[in-house]
Structure 1
Amino acid sequence: MKKKISIFGSTGSIGKNTIEVIKNSPDDFEIIALVAKNDVKTLISQALLFKPRYVVIENEKHFPKLKSSLKNCEILCGWEAILEVAKIKCDLFVAAIVGFAGMLPTLNAIKAGSNIALANKESLVCAGKFLMDEAKKHKVKIIPVDSEHNAIFQIFENENLAMIDDIVLTASGGPFFNSKKDFRKISVAEALKHPNWKMGAKISIDSATMMNKGLEMIEAFHLFPLKKNQIKILTHPQSIVHGMVNYLDGSSLAMISLPDMKVPISYALTFPNRMKIRHQKLDLAKLQKLEFFAVDEKKFPAVRICREALEIDGSAPTVLNAANEIAVAKFLDGEITFDCISKIVEKTLNKISHKKLSSVEEVIFFDEKARACLQTHHSSIFQKF
């Protein structure tokens, strides 16, 4: 029987890679829903190829083109339609919507009893406790798609939890790991040019600031039964070792592969099994070296800021994420300089009083509160640093 898949964020980087994996195994999967925000051209081509039951575009202006291009499926538009289609149970819900926007659809999918292939780290950063509690309540598996968390997921021995010393998430260091360039003079094009991974704009900038790794540290805290001080980060420029688990007996398990998102995606699609995919084979003899470095938190303060938000807990990670999304968008639009991203995030985090959260509604409240602080250039947050 084919595994029924819904892909939310099908036209983004993760969505497209998921499509490629599924396309090469048509007898194993059936796509029942495709959801996108703006890229109607790609969405139409995907829908014509896979013929899903539901096709949803968030931007309503693209609905007429979508409607005229497709037949024999239910075509919907708007945010409410996305939330409703997320409630339709499937075997695996690929959560690949970028940013905080992915949280509610993912929550609806969990409540529907769909297992989750989680690429949307912001869902756990902002509402990790609530999503994990719902997953436990509905007996839903959450399989991480981020290469680092997927790596840890593959080698984490839950039955030997007491023997785990710590885990290591690796970071490439992004395009500026070895750069001595003044961060105030970094262009958008330079920040988007990742040395190892081909990703969307938002995550590429997060990788360049290393905010991505800080967010992944918070995500890991919710995914794995660990204390906050058991989650470590190392810079690994080659992006071959994606994660490590260190045990108290001196053993360390590492998951290694070439930097290709189809590897963790295929694992998530077939868990607890594996599948053959088309990829370049890892040849250790050609690597020559694998390097590891401590994170330079003076150069990349985003990691420290995320750690502080995790320690504060409560509303702090939600505020941190909202401020980062706004700051990254403003950098991409040319409104602020690269160095201001982390400064704006830290200033916003310190500006808002934090509290323990008791509901998803409070998560949404603090997300909106943080964005309200940053909605205009005239806010004191955006004063020149």
Structure 2
Amino acid sequence: MKQRLAILGSTGSIGVQTLDIVRENPDRFEARILTAHGNWEQLARQAREFDADTVVIADKRYYTPLREALSDTDTKVFAGEEAVAQVAASGAADVVVNALVGYAGLAPTVAALEAGRKLALANKESLVVAGAYVMPLARERRAPVLPIDSEHSAIFQCLAGERAAVRRLIITCSGGSFRDLPREALASVTVEQALHHPQWHMGAKITIDSSTLVNKGFEVIEAHWLFGTPAERIDVVMHPQSIIHSMVEFDDGAIKAQLGTPDMRMPISYALFFPERAHRPQERFSFVEHPQLTFAEVDRVKYPALDIAYDCLRRGGTAACTMNGANEEAVAAFLAGRCAWLDIVRAIEYALGHAAFVAAPTLDDYAAANDEARTLAARFLNL
């Protein structure tokens, strides 16, 4: 029986690669619901190719052209962020793939879990912002949460079938766009330089987050909520080749690692097929072509965002939500040429230093913290 998928963010990097998996396995999956933020033309093409039942364009300005583009089909067309959350809870899908970017992914995550849907999660911000709310909800509704992030998929695969106690999780880090750039040169880096990731082909926002290591800090927080591991037992190690995606060390000293080419289709397919694995004969790894795997400590002076994220995890409450909101505002400003790269982390520090803190937040508290963080970051950046 085919699994019916709702792919939130189908025109983004993860969404497009998820549709590649659907295209490779028409006997296993069908894309019934597709959503996008503003790319209505690509969304219309996807809806036609996959004969989608429903599409949602989050930016309401594009509702009319999308509706007209699909007027000769049976596809239902909706608009608005509220509609994205509503289709995430729809009975028309068995699995929700949340590939949205940023805080916007939280409401659909909550809606999907409330409805008891299996959630394949690429939107790490859902757990960074509100892991204390999201994971108990998943347990209460018995809704599986399967990670799509390559690092967390690697940990998930290493833990499969294990009963042994875990000593630590080891998250690998490519180092991002500026790993080989001296600290003194960071003041003048450009958007174009920051978007040139040495290993991965990703969307603009996550590529910038990788360059500051904000993304790696968020992955530490995400790992805590997914696997229940405290901050002091989650390590980050630099691994420039991006072949080992993460590792788990057990109490007997044994370490399991998941290796593979830096291709997001592997963790996506693992989440969709679990507990099985996909048949992907074109995927071949050659150790001969990758004869050297190297590791190094992260330069925490060069990349202060990593320790900021650890501190937010230890503080709990709305701290990580504030970090995320300020980061989203600052990254958007950097991509628009309105602030320097170094200002991204400075804006985060400013927001954390001035924001209200709620120790046991509700969803409304998270929303307020997100709004306040954005306002504070904008003030710091003179936007």
In the alignment, is residue 72 of structure 1 matched against residue 91 of structure 2?
A: no
Residue type of the alignment partner of 1:237: P
C-alpha separation in 2, matches of 1:206 and 1:101: 16
Change (3 A) 1:290 1:159: closer
Could you say what secondary structure the match of 1:34 adopts?
Answer: strand
CA offsets 1:324-357 (integer angstroms, 9 cap, x no match): 0001011001111111111111121111232212
C-alpha separation in 2, matches of 1:96 and 1:383: 31
CA offsets 1:8-61 (integer angstroms, 9 cap, x no match): 000000000001111011111111100001111110111001111111111222
Residue type of the alignment partner of 1:296: D
Alignment of 1:259-270 (within 5 A): 259-270=262-273
| Counterpart position of 2:375 | 372
| Counterpart position of 1:282 | 285
Structure 2 gap ranges (5+): none
Structure 1 gap ranges (5+): none
Alignment of 1:38-187 (within 5 A): 38-70=38-70, 71-89=73-91, 90-156=93-159, 160-161=163-164, 163-180=165-182, 182-187=185-190
In the alignment, is residue 292 of structure 1 matched against residue 295 of structure 2?
A: yes
C-alpha separation in 1, matches of 2:153 and 2:215: 15
| Counterpart position of 1:355 | 358
C-alpha separation in 1, matches of 2:344 and 2:28: 43
Question: Once superposed, which parts of structure 1, at least 4 consecutive aligned residues long, lie more than 4 Å away?
Answer: none
Using the TM superposition, name which of 152-161 and 9-18 deviates more: 152-161
Q: Is the 8 Å Cα contact of residues 56 and 82 (structure 1) preserved in structure 2? A: yes
Residue type of the alignment partner of 2:18: T
| Counterpart position of 2:224 | 221
CA offsets 1:220-279 (integer angstroms, 9 cap, x no match): 110002122111100100000001000121210000000000000000111111111264
Count the aligned residue pairs.
379
C-alpha separation in 1, matches of 2:117 and 2:288: 41
CA offsets 1:111-154 (integer angstroms, 9 cap, x no match): 11110000000000011011111111111110000000000011
Q: Is the 8 Å Cα contact of residues 98 and 120 (structure 2) preserved in structure 1? A: yes
The Cα of 1:364 is off from its aligned counterpart by 1.1
Q: Is the 8 Å Cα contact of residues 21 and 277 (structure 1) preserved in structure 2? A: no
Could you say what secondary structure the match of 1:35 adopts?
Answer: strand
Q: Is the 8 Å Cα contact of residues 148 and 170 (structure 1) preserved in structure 2? A: yes
Identity of aligned residues (%): 38
The TM-score, its normalising length taken from structure 2, stands at 0.96
| Counterpart position of 1:196 | 199
Alignment of 1:298-309 (within 5 A): 298-309=301-312
The Cα of 1:383 is off from its aligned counterpart by 6.7
C-alpha separation in 1, matches of 2:282 and 2:94: 25
| Counterpart position of 2:381 | 382
CA offsets 1:280-333 (integer angstroms, 9 cap, x no match): 411012211000111101011110111111111111000000000001011001
| Counterpart position of 2:29 | 29
Q: Is the 8 Å Cα contact of residues 155 and 248 (structure 2) preserved in structure 1? A: yes
In the alignment, is residue 314 of structure 1 matched against residue 317 of structure 2?
A: yes
Change (3 A) 1:157 1:81: closer
Change (3 A) 1:55 1:342: same
CA offsets 1:51-92 (integer angstroms, 9 cap, x no match): 111111112222222112211121111122212212203221
Change (3 A) 1:78 1:278: farther
Change (3 A) 1:352 1:216: same
Residue type of the alignment partner of 1:173: G
Alignment of 1:8-23 (within 5 A): 8-23=8-23
C-alpha separation in 1, matches of 2:316 and 2:16: 34
C-alpha separation in 1, matches of 2:269 and 2:313: 30
Could you say what secondary structure the match of 1:328 adopts?
Answer: helix
Alignment of 1:201-280 (within 5 A): 201-277=204-280, 279-280=282-283
Change (3 A) 1:22 1:350: same
C-alpha separation in 2, matches of 1:96 and 1:12: 8
Could you say what secondary structure the match of 1:233 adopts?
Answer: strand
C-alpha separation in 1, matches of 2:175 and 2:64: 43
The Cα of 1:362 is off from its aligned counterpart by 1.2
